[in-house]
Structure 1
Amino acid sequence: MEAGRRTGGPNAVRNTLPGSVTGPVVQAGAVHELHLNTRWKPVVPAQLPPPPSALPGRDRELAELDRCRATPGRLPLAVLSGPGGIGKTALALRWLHRIRTDCSDGQLYVDLAASDPAGPVPPDKVLQWFLHALGVPPEDIPDEQPEREAIFRSLTADRALALLLDNAASAAQVRPLLPATVTGVVVVTSRWRLNGLAMHGARFVEVGPLGPAESTAVLAEVIGPERVAAEPNAAERLVSVCGGVPLALTLVAARLRTRPRRPLTREATALAERADLLRLSTEDDPALRAAFDSSYESLPPAAARLYRLCGLYPGGRVRADVLAAVTGEALGDVEEGLDELVDANLLAEGPDDHLRCHDLLRAHAREVARRDCPEPERAAAARALVEWHLDMLVRADIVLHPHRWRVGPRYARLAAEAPAFPDARAALRWLEHEQQAMWAALREAAAWGWSDLVWQFCEALWGFFTHHQHYTEWIQVHEEFGVPAAQRRGHRLAEVRLRGQLAFALAKVHRYPDAARENEKALRLAKAEGHEPSIASALSQLGRVARGLGDLTTAIEHYRAAARLQDRLGIPRGVALCRRRIGEVLVELGRVDEAVVELEAAARIMVEVGDPVQHARALVRLGTLHGRQGRAEEARRLLHTALATVRDLGSPHHTAEVLAALGELAADGGDPVTARDALTEAVALYAAAENPRAGALAARLRELP
């Protein structure tokens, strides 16, 4: 047969199609001669590798893939993107095998080798493989790519084929391989986002880490559920170390499967350092490091530098403005470089202005920073990141606690600048949002041996701590990092400050002997330094310990001594704090009239100095006292005034304090419904902070009718 014949003139074209064929025939433009030989027998290829044996979960991603087939009249094209080792290929195979009965004309598969040292497989080579798989003999496959594309489209037109284009390097590599069918399906996997395929109607599915339950199921599938059940805590640690990365999970599980007597606890301990996990590999699977290296090595220089900085960034959430501030680069340039990392799936977009760096990728980024950056350059970058976070922490603490005297050298400088936050509520919200980065920055400073920064972090975290009061971490950080750092620097006043902060938390968890020891050390150091504000603080803290031990007379003596000293020093807020505490002890002693005088004075002074939180706390004590004396209406008025203040600030600890008082007032007044609501919320807030009051209030809840 003959088609597309045009005669005459120097540019005459004559396209011929010799032989008889079945199926559609296309006009191929200036291809000149397109031979479809009658020897080409229809072939139903079955090239998909077997489905993975262990890949539970992934319900969200599977649903996304199902949706890509929901639009009639368009080629279902899905792009699975994610970092190396995240399970893109396994997910694609699982889904394609699930729908294979709908693809009656077969399946084609190719590894496009995006990360191969020799370079990605060119499309013309892939087309040669595909044409052969579809029944075209090698001798009939044309040499030029356009001709191969034309035949491929002809052979795939309207056929129910499934194609898996695995490990693609770019949209340009994929486009020539798209079939001319709307009844089949194409899945592309890539470490890059391949945004250029959007014009072909692609549905983009980000493949992230597995959740804890899914990760545990993978582990159990490979090593057996009985080993996981026998050591559930160790299994949980292994899952945590692997960070939900399927390649990491399967590497660990494969090693454990070949060592059936190896305890999971031992394996978890051995892999606690993620660098060890990066080195793991099996005969069939590459090491995680190789998977991550290939992505890193393809980055342009500016993006590669930012990736190394991500390894030094405190915590797993990265901000463009912080990187711009510490590098001195324009924000737009930094954002452009971070976009490169997002496209390479080395960072993931978060729900806010942060980007997320997976723990294993962060470990890899830190490793390449050690490998590719001289230590002075790396240390300077790490310190700049840590100091940025310390400066912001100090700025927030200044707004949260404007009346507190400080030891840290940054306070005077930063207090002279315009406030970084409009009010205490905004400062607290920011700290809550950034707390992971703040704690990580403190630990980063400790890891580098920057003791001068470590103790400053501990002092500056006080404002955040007073509103959340997470005692376990606070005590650990002060004992392990803060106090030793101040001692190494020989900064006695810093040591006094941190011992006082530590003693406060120890007393709150009823470790009174330990709290007394820290306070006595702080008092001795403060006296040796002749620093009277520190002496007053230590005396007040000793009053707290005496009260906790039941020595109420000694407690009042310490509080009054501290109040007299602070009055002489002109520190009215300190005086008010002592008077409130004296009032609390007087209530316990049954000296109610004296207590009212002290509590009302404390409340009045806190209004005068502008401390709404401590004013609210004084109102709580007065409200509780009024309730005990039968003045329920006045008690409710004071307590609700206090609750409005602390709720407006968003302080969990102080909110729990007021709710507990309101719950007790309602219970005593015969209103169990209101009491239950208030006490339930208070228990939840206290429990989140590991406050011992949670247990006592929970017991009180059980007593309600």
Structure 2
Amino acid sequence: MEIAFRILGRTGLRTADGFVHDWGKPKARAVLAVLLFHAGKPVPVRTLEKWVWSGDGPSNPYPTLQTYVARIKAALRDAGLPGVISNVERAYQLDVDRSSIDLYASIELARKAKAAAYQASPDLEKACALSEQAIALWSGELFADLDSDLACERRDSLVRYHYLPAMNGLLYGLGKLGRFEQMLFHLNEIQPEHDLDVLLARHRLVALFGLRKRVEAAQYHVSVRRRIVAEIADGSEAELLRLYEELRSRHDQQSTPSNAGPRPRYLPHGADAFTGHETLLAELDNLVLPHPRPRLVALDGPPGVGKTTLALHWASSVRDRFADGYWFASLDGVAHGPRVEAGQVVKDLLAEFGVAADSIPSLEARTARLRELLANRCMLVVLDNVADTSHVRALLPALSTCFVLMTSRARLSELVVRDRARCLTVDPLGEDETVAWLRNRLGHRASAAPGGVVRLAALADGMPLAMELIGEQVAAQPRRSLEDFVRVLASGRALLSLSNGSSGSIRNAFELSYQNLSEEQATLFRLLGLHPVREVSLDIVAALAGVDREDARHLVDSLVWTRLVDSTDGDRYRMHDLIREYAAERAERDEPPAERAAAVGRMLAWYTHTVHNADRCVVGFREEVPMLDLPPGVNPRHFTDEDDVAQWCLQEEAALVGVIKHVADPEHIWRLANSVGELFMRYLRNDTVVAVMEAGAAAARECGEIGTVVDTFQNVGFVHMTYRHDHESADRWFREARAIFGDRDDPETLAVLLRNEAECVLQGAHNVPRAIEMYQQALALAVTDDTRAGILHRLGVACRAGNRLDEAASHLYQALHLRERLGDGLGQARSRLELAQLAFDLGDSFGAKASCHFAIGLFQQAHSGAGEARALTLLAAIVKADDLELGRYYANRAMELSRGVDREVEAVVNDVAGQIEWRAGQRELAVERWQASFSAFRDISDPRADAIAVHLDELAQFVQPEVPLGRLPSQTGVAQDQELLGGLE
């Protein structure tokens, strides 16, 4: 059964987004932890008190616990989790399947692991896997939300009788399988807390000797024996001594090399502060366990990603396992000078064995002699910077008994097919790993400026070469602030030029790979640099290159093999930001201006026409943005339905924003912004739409055509009004559009101008009669059904605000009928929601609920989370008087949908949720909801924030411990139900 509850650590609940640990107050989490530990059994109130309070608890714990249990029930219900809490004879009992609780799931896994290990035919692989799962569930300190004496006592008992036996079982199995690195990994996690546990000490000695770390094993044995004698004195040190002597004797026998004579031993110094790549290192470790054997392994990755550093770090950690020796050779396959050929490596290795290569006439004979010398040896050989498979082909037969680790900028797939090699790709480090590395490198300066470290890490973007150069630059200039480094390195292409003083700049590292590309590959590489963000679709690759999709796929896949480009799902490709910046630089330098302009034109045409097709699929009833002619060979995407459009818009958000903001082509940009604006308002959860539309306005202004400028400025103002609720900015854009429009004879445009100005009058100054008058003037001028429907809808909203309810219903129904005829699903949803609000105002709760549910279905079809949240908020307000649980469900769902989407909706739904929680007796939670409502209203400069603030002041007298609940306080200042929803059109 899936884990739903965690008590191994902070008390956690599983939700749709994963486990949450901040779902309630600390004491509520503590109570749930106790009930989960005693799942299926009654827990008396006095027992709960001993578990939950470390000192003197409340004089009468029952009402306090009752409050916490009510909160726990609400949390379980909100998360959709199983479990019923009953209260019988002053005892609480949680009935839930124990297998859904991490502690009991871990105990059961450990039992199965033990059974697998001790059956007639032991299955140690299965036993270890089950033990790993059991131990992984102990992700933190048991009962972390409890600090009472009883909890500490029970915690120690469970660790002693469940956790440590499971860990010992795992360590035993790993030792039998020869997985000593894994043993040390687990021991290093646990042993500091149990460092005198003799069983754990035995396991550590087994692991250290297994890894041939005799000196470290001896030091550890002496240290732990002394401490056992001094601190425990139970005689167990003798047992440990016997094991140590046995392991040492066995190690001495195994360490005697099978071949007398020289053993090559050379590895360069590794990095002093290596970080990350735990999974890759573990995979390499598994390839040499339990004992080294002949293997071919190749590490590939883009330039600067740290392949050599990783190879040396790993080789240094395992070299003691190779009794026959280890050797490192740099082949300079991609370098400024000549590369080192196989013959030189053969010559160097022969010299290590005391053989003069010059006395052997040919490379073939020298290779044969080396093969003889290595016939009964298993050395570790690191071949760094291999150009391609042909570079090492002649060398591999001589190393057939060795573990050979190669690094290369290219994928050595031929070795996989012909020689059964294992190819592993080294990716850039994650953000946390990059930050950790820089903090370690910069020391106290990092502690003094943590924000600067994070920003430097973002610039490096997980590329170790960039990290090292940034770290050295900062360390070498101690009087400069980190923020100054950020300022300089973030400008232009300064990071590409960053150097260690010789030829080791980031640009030079990329240059070496670029020079090895074919002419076709180099051209595509440069063209990809013209795209403003790191990820591109195959369609854009084809557009940039001016070829069809299959030719584009062949070309870009060849770049994937060079590791300058990476592939992702869905025919998409990605370049590291620094590599993309270098590609852009090469495009400016090497690509003829006409070819560069043609490629950008094809890219813009593809985006513009694809967005136009998406716009027509969703709002084809509206006037379309005029398109430029499509260049030959460019094939824009077509869409099947709105789901297809929504998925594409979310996927291409970064690319579309990057193109609109950073590509200097105003004729395309204003078209692209106006086409994509409506789509972004529907589907995205951030300020993307504002940035896009303002960039579109700048492009329209540059083009200078009056109609284009007026339409675009109106769209920008509309976005500010409806998305940011910034009526002052919206009014500024509308006024500028009106001034540019002048006295042109264009009734439709004038109607839209009047409608927008009326909206500012209605929401900004709350001058309802004036707004209604302006809407009516606009309606008289409107020509298209779409414009008329929008004006009728807003006129209905204004009439409802002015308490002219019959007129409001008439206008809203007219708007709804027009939108049904147009096929405007989102518009229908908005009109039906306003009609629901109107019905609620008139006391028709049944009709209001029916219209709300109808609107929710339409909002969902249109992928409008903000609209659905508004409808759910109204539903919560309607049902809260009769069904608090249902009202809470609707409100919580609305909060999820509106979070990060629309601050006004967040404000209103938190207000409604506060009313629901107060009526339910959850006073503290109600205040939290109203505080969130206040913050959201304040963020959008909505005067309702002042009313909420007054209301919170009034509540202060009610929200005191141990004060009986009274009636709901005065609603003064709280948004009234009939004013819950503002129209969005």
In the alignment, structure 1 residue 660 sits paired with structure 2 residue 873: yes
- Superposed, 1:34-53 pairs within 5 Å as 42-53=261-272
Partner of 1:502: 716
Determine the structure 1 residue equivalent to 2:335.
116
Residues 83 and 345 of structure 1 are in contact (CA less than 8 Å); yes or no, is this contact kept in structure 2? yes
Asked if 1:261 corresponds to 2:479, the answer is yes
1:239 aligns with 2:457: yes
Moved more, 676-685 or 57-66: 676-685
CA contact (8 A) 1:523 1:534 kept: no
Of 454, 463, 474, 2:669 maps to: 454
Residues 156 and 181 in structure 1, CA contact (< 8 A), matched pair in contact too = yes
The one-letter code sitting in structure 1 at the alignment partner of 2:828 is H
Deviates more, 1:47-56 or 1:316-325: 316-325
Specify the SS of the correspondent of 2:429: coil
Q: Distance in 2 between matches of 1:313 and 1:418?
A: 16
Alignment of 1:511-530 (within 5 A): 511-530=726-745
* Contact 1:127 1:148 (C-alpha < 8 Å) held by counterparts: yes
**Residue equivalent to 1:474:** 689
What secondary structure sits across from 1:93 in the alignment?
Answer: helix
Q: CA deviation at 1:157?
A: 3.6
Aligned to 1:85: 304
Q: Aligned partners of 1:601, 1:145: CA distance in 2, in Å?
A: 91
Match runs of 1:253-652 below 5 Å: 253-273=471-491, 275-283=493-501, 286-410=504-628, 420-446=638-664, 450-468=665-683, 472-479=687-694, 481-508=695-722, 509-549=724-764, 550-566=766-782, 569=783, 571-652=784-865
Instruction: Give the secondary-structure state (helix, strand or coil) at the position aligned to 2:268.
Output: coil
8 Å CA contact retained: 1:314, 1:385: no
TM-score scaled by length of structure 1: 0.86
Residues of 2 paired with 1:584 and 1:249: CA distance? 57
**Greater shift in the superposed pair: 115-124 or 676-685:** 676-685
Give deviations 1:517-574, integer Å, cap 9, x for gaps: 21122223334332222111111111221122222222222222222221xx2x2222
Letter of the structure 2 residue corresponding to residue 209 of structure 1: P
Measured at CA, do residues 413 and 180 of structure 1 come closer, stay the same or move farther in structure 2, by a change above 3 Å? closer
**Separation (CA, whole Å) in 2 of partners of 1:702 and 1:127:** 78
Residue 285 of structure 1 and its aligned partner are, at CA, apart by 6.8
Q: Which residue is equivalent to 2:946?
A: none
Please name the residue that 2:379 is paired with.
161
Q: State how far apart, in whole Å, the 2-side matches of 1:546 and 1:428 are.
A: 33
Instruction: Measure the CA separation in 2 of the matches of 1:195 and 1:282.
Output: 33
CA gap 1:683/1:46 in 2 versus in 1, 3 angstroms: farther
Give 2:411's match in structure 1, choosing from 193, 200, 222.
Answer: 193
> In structure 1, which of residues 190, 194, 210 is the aligned counterpart of residue 429 of structure 2?
210
Give the superposition deviation at 1:458.
1.7
When structure 1 is superposed on structure 2, of 167-176 and 63-72 the one drifting more is 63-72
Please tell me whether residue 686 in structure 1 is matched to residue 898 in structure 2.
Answer: yes
Q: Is the 8 A contact 1:74 1:182 kept in 2?
A: no
Q: Which residue number corresponds to residue 27 of structure 2? A: none
- Aligned-pair distance for 1:632? 3.8
CA distance in 1: counterparts of 2:284 and 2:844, whole angstroms: 65
Asked if the contact 1:167/1:189 (under 8 Å) is kept, the reply is yes
Contact 1:311 1:364 in 2 (8 A): yes
How far is 1:659 from its partner?
A: 3.4
Secondary structure at the counterpart of residue 49 of structure 1: coil
Q: Would the alpha carbon gap of residues 287 and 304 (structure 1) be closer, same or farther in structure 2, given more than 3 Å must change?
A: same
Mapped contact 2:293–2:402 kept (Cα < 8 A): no
Deviation at 1:111, TM superposition (A): 0.8
Please state whether the residue corresponding to 1:312 is helix, strand or coil: coil
What SS does the corresponding residue of 1:318 show, helix, strand or coil? Answer: strand
Shift in CA distance, 667/293, structure 1 to aligned 2, threshold 3 Å: farther
Does the CA-based 8 Å contact 1:599-1:618 persist in structure 2? yes
- SS of the residue corresponding to residue 529 of structure 1 reads coil
The structure showing larger relative contact order (alpha-carbon pairs under 8 Å, at least 6 residues apart) is 1
Q: Could you tell me whether the CA contact under 8 Å between 2:347 and 2:357 is conserved in 1?
A: no
Letter in 2 for 1:349: S
Partners of 1:418 and 1:263 lie apart in 2 by: 48
CA distance in 2, matches of 1:267, 1:373: 32
Q: Aligned partners of 1:68, 1:439: CA distance in 2, in Å?
A: 45
Q: How many angstroms does 1:73 deviate by?
A: 9.6
Q: Render the CA deviation track for 1:422-476: whole Å, top value 9, x for unaligned.
A: 2222222222222222112212333xxx222221122112221230365634334
Q: Aligned pair in 2 of structure 1 residues 701, 484: CA closer, same or farther (>3 Å)?
A: same
**In the superposition, relative to structure 1, how do residues 423 and 327 fare at CA in structure 2: closer, same or farther (>3 Å)?**
same
C-alpha distance in 2 between matches for 1:73 and 1:161? 9
Whole-Å separation in 1 of the counterparts to 2:877 and 2:323: 71
Given residue 653 of structure 1, which amino acid in structure 2 is its aligned partner?
A
**Deviation readout 1:34-63 (Å, 9 max, x if unpaired):** xxxxxx962232212222122322223223
Cα distance per residue 1:142-186 (max 9 Å; x no partner): 342333333333333453422211111112223444477898532
Contact 1:326 1:388 in 2 (8 A): no
Q: Secondary structure at the match of 2:405?
A: strand
Q: What's the CA shift for 1:136?
A: 2.9
Question: Would you say the 8 A contact 2:762–2:771 is kept in 1?
Answer: yes
| Counterpart-to-counterpart distance in 2, 1:156 and 1:60 | 31
RMSD, aligned α-carbons: 2.9
* TM-aligned CA distance change 1:130 to 1:688, over 3 Å: farther
- Is the 8 Å Cα contact of residues 141 and 148 (structure 1) preserved in structure 2? no
**In 1: Cα distance, 2:329 partner to 2:317 partner:** 19
Query: Would you say the 8 A contact 1:45–1:108 is kept in 2?
Result: yes
1: CA distance, partners of 2:706 / 2:684: 25
User: What runs of 5+ residues in structure 1 fail to find an aligned partner?
Assistant: 1-39
Preserved CA contact (<8 Å) 1:552 1:585: yes
- More divergent stretch after superposition (238-247 vs 97-106): 97-106
In 1, Cα distance between equivalents of 2:701 and 2:503: 49
Report how far residue 684 of structure 1 moved. Answer: 4.0
Superposed CA offset, 1:245-302 (max 9, x none): 1111111111001112211111111111351111111147700111101111101101
Contact 2:650 2:683 in 1 (8 A): no
Question: Are the equivalent residues in 1 in contact too, given 2:567–2:574 (CA < 8 A)?
Answer: yes
**Structure 1 range deviating more: 487-496 or 620-629:** 620-629
Partner of 1:6: none
**Equivalent residues of 1:684, 1:694 under 8 A apart:** no
**Structure 2 length as normaliser, TM-score?**
0.63
Q: Deviations over 1:390-419 (max 9, x none)?
A: 1211121121211222453449999xx999
Counterpart amino acid of residue 706 in structure 2? R
Q: Structure 1's 663 and 236: CA in aligned 2 closer, same or farther, altered over 3 A? A: farther
Change (3 A) 1:285 1:633: farther
- 3-state secondary structure, aligned to 1:581: helix
Change in Cα spacing, 1:318 to 1:624, as seen in structure 2 (3 Å) is same
Cα gap change, 1:411/1:381 in structure 2, threshold over 3 Å: closer, same or farther?
A: closer
Fraction of identical pairs, as percent? 28
Match of 2:365 in 1: 147
The question of whether the paired residues in 1 share the 8 Å contact of 2:351 and 2:357 is answered with no
Equivalent position to 2:440, from 221, 238, 242: 221
Structure 2 residues without counterparts, runs of 5 or longer = 1-258, 918-985
Q: Match for 1:484: what amino acid?
A: A
